[in-house]
Structure 1
């Protein structure tokens, strides 16, 4: 039986993750695995959008911060898809627990690092052997402008996202000979649930393009990096922030 190639998007039920799932299915014709942790309704909505447009999608529920759960669910998926290969991995899952460092509780630090940074490790480590054997793959990590320049009130999030940038650059060098690229995209202010509480009118003044980005614009960049057109780009952090930091 012929091998079938898939794309996995962690945190794929809403916001930027949802837009990436839709774009990968539409533009690159990947059957998409939509990972989510708790919001089954949102994940089903994402799947419905993809299938309504003629694409293929499956839901896969696990918490990327939990190594045993991640391993268990991905193993189960592989058992059910003996001829399937996840050749595109988009590490998008992340959470915020904002607050000034001097008052930051250990749990707020640990949860953010465990999801954004360790989640990358848990998912990618499990799947990378298949990519190395296959001699092809695309790993795309969604970091943040906070990981590049640091953001006050987000020491935990900035640390986790900066760690993801370092991991991207190092892993890219390790796997390049096997035709696997590893890149990061670093969004600035993008219209999603995560930024809905922010004062958009005030913050727009800081952005040279004078607007928040759209999740679809980030998704288009991820799609490019996931495509064959980006074969000579690896170890890069591509900023998509309207000029707020470059």
Structure 2
């Protein structure tokens, strides 16, 4: 998977407020190399496939961007010159231009106001995780099915106890016994509620990273499963071109 979450990401403020909107979807990595950028893009593509406009914002340092090549067309920078903008079907992607953190969130033209905003926050610093918990967004925690991975995930989940959370497990369908044995109570609870989704590892993505091409079918299917959990009031309906992917057995679902 693409590794755009290898270093702590700051959460810049928007205007005079550093709060995140409650209807935004935030994607955070429980540990370095979890695959948060791939998961954020899969969710964005799934939402866009329902004819909704999507704004995907990555806060990682420019040298650590997992979305650097994810747009199918580059559009220069925003009006402030702080965000580099690209498009991908109905998804607008903004990523940082400079080393210095931008002073606010990127703003789209009124004609392009998104129906869905997805923030790829990577591996958040402790103070930003606390801010994320206070703002109560819909959050996806991304991890790998390893003993350190699930332990770190439990720590993140404990910080988001009052928040709607879904966990994306990037890896094989079956977990080693040692991983199962080290799952904490919050992760076990989410598994029992069907709020843990497996995202398959794809060899092409591991080699090439995220590009402007469509994601692999199994990863697309995982994105649709996550989107259905994050936006249950309006379940995503895949376009015709996605139906073959959704019919594949075992493409996505709860990790076992």
Higher relative contact order (CA 8 A, sep 6+): 2
- TM-score relative to the length of structure 1: 0.48
- In terms of fraction of residues, the more helix-rich structure is 1
